[in-house]
Structure 1
Amino acid sequence: MTPKNVLRIGTRASLLATTQTETIAAALRDAHGIDVELVPVSTEGDRSREPLSVIGGQGVFVAALREAVAAGDVDLAVHSLKDLPTTPDERLNLAAVPTRADSRDVLVARDGLTLGELPTGARVGTGSARRAAQINALGLGVEIVPIRGNVDTRLGKVASGEVDAVVLAMAGLVRLGRADEATEVLDPIQVLPAPGQGALACECRADDVATARLLDVLDDPDTRAAVTAERSLLASLEAGCTAPVGALAEIAWGDDGDELWLRGVVADPSGSPSIRLSATGSPREAAAVGERLAAEMLAEGAADLMACPPIGTAQ
C-alpha cells in the first residue's frame, strides 16, 4: 500500500475517549511525522442511558467504531481495551496495545473519605457488577447505587450529594488530569480491576499492512502479554465485560526470567460467595495461563456466580 496522506482515527466523542485517542495521535505524529485526524463516532453505549446489562453490555462502546474501521471510513480505532469483546473479529487486527496506565480502581468520596471511613448506609455509585460485588464482599455496610454516565456526570453525583462516593478507573482520571480528586486508590487485593483496565487498543483492518506498520512502534510486549492473559481468562469463563469478573496480570522477574502472575475473582453481586485464585506462567504462554486459571475457577463453581442477576436488576 502507498503511504497515507492523513491517518484517520475513529474515537468515541466523550472527553475521555478523545483525550486518550489524542495521546495515540500525538505518538504517531512524533514517531512518523504524519498528519493525523480524529473522527468522532457515536456508539450505542454513548446514546443509551440504560444499564449495560439491558442494552447488551459487551461491545456496545466499540461496535460502531469497529464497523467504521471495517468499512474503511477510518483507518484505525482507539478503544479502552476493557470494552473490547474477547471474540476475535477476523476483519480487524489488534495492531498495538500501548504501555498500560494505572489499572486500579479509585474512590471519589465526599469530605475526602476513604471506603473504610464511609458510614454505614453510605451510597456508593457504580454501574459495574464487578465493583459492586467486590465492595459488598468487604462487609462495610454501604449501599451500592447503580449509575452510568461520563466521568463528569459521575463526579457530579458526589458533588450534588446524590451519592456519597463513586468508584472509577484511575487511568481515566489520570488521562483527564483529575487524579487529585481520588480520595482513595483501591488495593487490587480488595478490588481487582476489569480485564484490560487501564490499557488502550489500536485496531486497524486485517489487510491494512501500512497502518499496522505505523502502529507497531506503539505496541508494548509486557502490556500485551498481561492483557492477553486477563482476556483469555474472561473468554474461557465465557463471560462478557459486564460480568462480575476481575483480573490483573503483572510481569515480574522470576528465577528463570520474566514470569507472568495472573489473579482473578468471580463474585456474587452480594459479595458472598466469591472465588479468588491465581496462576503463574511464562509471558509467552499468556493465553494458556488465562485458560488454566479459568478452568480452576469453573471447577470451583464460577459459572453459577456469573449467572447471578447483575447490579440494579430484580433478584
Structure 2
Amino acid sequence: MTDRIRVGTRGSALALAQSGLVARDLARSAGLETELVTVTTQGDTSRANLASLGGTGVFATELRTALLAGEVDVIVHSLKDLPTKPFDGLVIAATPKRADARDVLVARDGLSLAELPEGARIGTGSPRRIAELKALRPDLEVVADFRGNIDSRIGKVASGDVDAVILAAAGLDRLGKADAVSERFSLSAWPTAPGQGALALEVRAEQASDATAFSRALLNGVTKLDHATTRATVRAERDVLAGLEAGCAAPVATTAIVDDGMLFLTATVYALDGSRSITASHAAVLDSSSAIDLLAAASEVAGRTVAELLEAGAKDLA
C-alpha cells in the first residue's frame, strides 16, 4: 500500500508541532506514511482580537473546507478553538490523550502573579483570562488587544512591552519552551477553557462507509489514537459551553476529571469585568470504564451543571 495520509494543519509553529506529533503517531497506528499539509485560516491572517472576530470557527473553517474538498484526509484542531456545533459532513474520530490543561504565567524576572507589582502590564487577548485577572488582581493593567504566536508574545515580555503574558501550558510544553514559565496556575484556583490542552482529529463522515483499503487503514489508525477518558472529560466541558450557547472566546471556564470511579465537573461563568462569577459543580458515578458509559456520564453531568448555572443567572454574565 503506497497511499500517504495528508494531515491538514494550521501553519503556526505550535500547530505544526502538535500536528507533527499526531502525524508520527498516525503513521505508526495506520501503517501508512503521513505528510503535513498547511492550511491558512482566518485566525492566522487577521490581526483583530478574537472577540471582535466572533471567536467561533476562525481557526477551523478553512481546515474543514479543505477536508470536505478532499485536499486532506484528516485535520488536527486545538479543541478549545473548535466550535461545539457539529459540522455537516465531518466527524471527530479521535481525541488523543490530553496534555496539561493549565494556564501559565510568563513574567519578567520569573515573578509569580502574586509578586507582580501594582500597575504591572499583563498581556492576554482571552476574555476568560481577562475576567480571571480582573477578579484576582484588579490592580494590574491588562493589555487586552494582545495577539501573536507564542514566540512573539514571550518576546514582548523580554523587550519590556509588557511585564507578563498568560499562555496555555500545553502550547509551551509542545514547543519545548517550558523553561519560560514563571508560574503554572492550579485548575482549582484558575480554571481554563473547555477542551484546553486537548486535540481533535476530524475526518469526513463518508469515510466510515468507504471500503477501500486506504480508508479502512486511515480510520483504524485514527481511532487507535482516541483516549476515552480525554474524550469524556472534554465532552463534559464542551457540553457546558454548548448548553450556555457561548462561543469559544466566551468568559467560561471548565474543569472535568475522572477519578476514583467518578466524573467530576466544575464550570464558572464570569462577568467580562471580573466583578462577578457563578460556579456550579456536579459529579456522576461511572458504572464502568467503557467509552459509552463515560460519554453518557459526561453529557448527564454537564446537563445538570448547565441547568444550575442558568438558574443562577449565567446568561446575564457571559
| Counterpart in the other structure of 2:276 | 273
1:299 paired to 2:311 = yes
* Pairing partner for 2:232 from 207, 225, 242: 225
Q: How far 1:227 sits from its partner (Å)?
A: 0.2
Deviates more, 1:137-146 or 1:95-104: 137-146
Q: Distance in 2 between matches of 1:155 and 1:168?
A: 9
| Counterpart in the other structure of 2:265 | 262
* Pairing partner for 2:117 from 119, 133, 137: 119
Q: Distance in 2 between matches of 1:4 and 1:247?
A: 43
| Counterpart in the other structure of 1:313 | none
1:234 partner amino acid: L
1:182 paired to 2:194 = no
Q: How far 1:223 sits from its partner (Å)?
A: 0.1
Q: How far 1:276 sits from its partner (Å)?
A: 1.5
Q: Distance in 2 between matches of 1:234 and 1:125?
A: 25
| Counterpart in the other structure of 2:147 | 148
1:107 paired to 2:119 = no
Q: Distance in 1 between matches of 2:110 and 2:138?
A: 17
Q: Distance in 2 between matches of 1:31 and 1:239?
A: 36
The answer to whether the Cα contact below 8 Å between 1:120 and 1:140 also exists between their aligned partners in 2 is no
Q: How far 1:140 sits from its partner (Å)?
A: 5.0
2:104 partner amino acid: V
The answer to whether the Cα contact below 8 Å between 1:43 and 1:64 also exists between their aligned partners in 2 is yes
SS at match of 2:97: coil
| Counterpart in the other structure of 1:168 | 167
SS at match of 2:34: strand
Q: Distance in 2 between matches of 1:13 and 1:57?
A: 19
TM-score (structure 2 length as normaliser): 0.92
1:274 partner amino acid: S
Q: Distance in 1 between matches of 2:151 and 2:229?
A: 32
- Runs of 4+ displaced beyond 3 Å: none
| Counterpart in the other structure of 2:69 | 71
| Counterpart in the other structure of 2:23 | 25
Q: Distance in 1 between matches of 2:142 and 2:302?
A: 30
Q: How far 1:145 sits from its partner (Å)?
A: 0.7
| Counterpart in the other structure of 2:290 | none
* Pairing partner for 1:288 from 290, 300, 304: 300
The answer to whether the Cα contact below 8 Å between 2:30 and 2:220 also exists between their aligned partners in 1 is no
The answer to whether the Cα contact below 8 Å between 2:90 and 2:205 also exists between their aligned partners in 1 is yes
Q: Distance in 1 between matches of 2:197 and 2:83?
A: 16
1:13 paired to 2:11 = yes
Q: Distance in 2 between matches of 1:65 and 1:28?
A: 18
Q: Distance in 2 between matches of 1:243 and 1:32?
A: 37
Q: Distance in 2 between matches of 1:173 and 1:60?
A: 22
| Counterpart in the other structure of 1:312 | none
Q: Distance in 2 between matches of 1:99 and 1:238?
A: 26
2:152 partner amino acid: T
TM-score (structure 1 length as normaliser): 0.93
Q: How far 1:4 sits from its partner (Å)?
A: 6.7
Q: Distance in 1 between matches of 2:303 and 2:73?
A: 32
The answer to whether the Cα contact below 8 Å between 1:135 and 1:191 also exists between their aligned partners in 2 is no
Q: Distance in 2 between matches of 1:140 and 1:267?
A: 14
Q: Distance in 1 between matches of 2:104 and 2:302?
A: 25
SS at match of 2:250: coil
Unpaired runs of 5+ residues, structure 2, are 209-214, 287-293
| Counterpart in the other structure of 1:309 | none
1:290 partner amino acid: A
Spell out, residue by residue over 1:25-81, the C-alpha distance to the aligned partner (whole angstroms, 9 max, x if none). 110122233110100000000000001111221100011001111111100100101
Spell out, residue by residue over 1:257-295, the C-alpha distance to the aligned partner (whole angstroms, 9 max, x if none). x21101111111221111122111143321121121011
Spell out, residue by residue over 1:220-279, the C-alpha distance to the aligned partner (whole angstroms, 9 max, x if none). 0000000000000000000000100000100001xxxx2110111111122111112211
Percent sequence identity over aligned pairs:
51
Q: Distance in 2 between matches of 1:170 and 1:110?
A: 17
Unpaired runs of 5+ residues, structure 1, are 307-315
The answer to whether the Cα contact below 8 Å between 2:51 and 2:127 also exists between their aligned partners in 1 is no
Q: How far 1:213 sits from its partner (Å)?
A: 2.0
Matches within 5 A, 1:39-54: 39-54=37-52
**Count of matched residue positions in the alignment of Structure 1 and Structure 2:** 300
Q: How far 1:103 sits from its partner (Å)?
A: 0.2
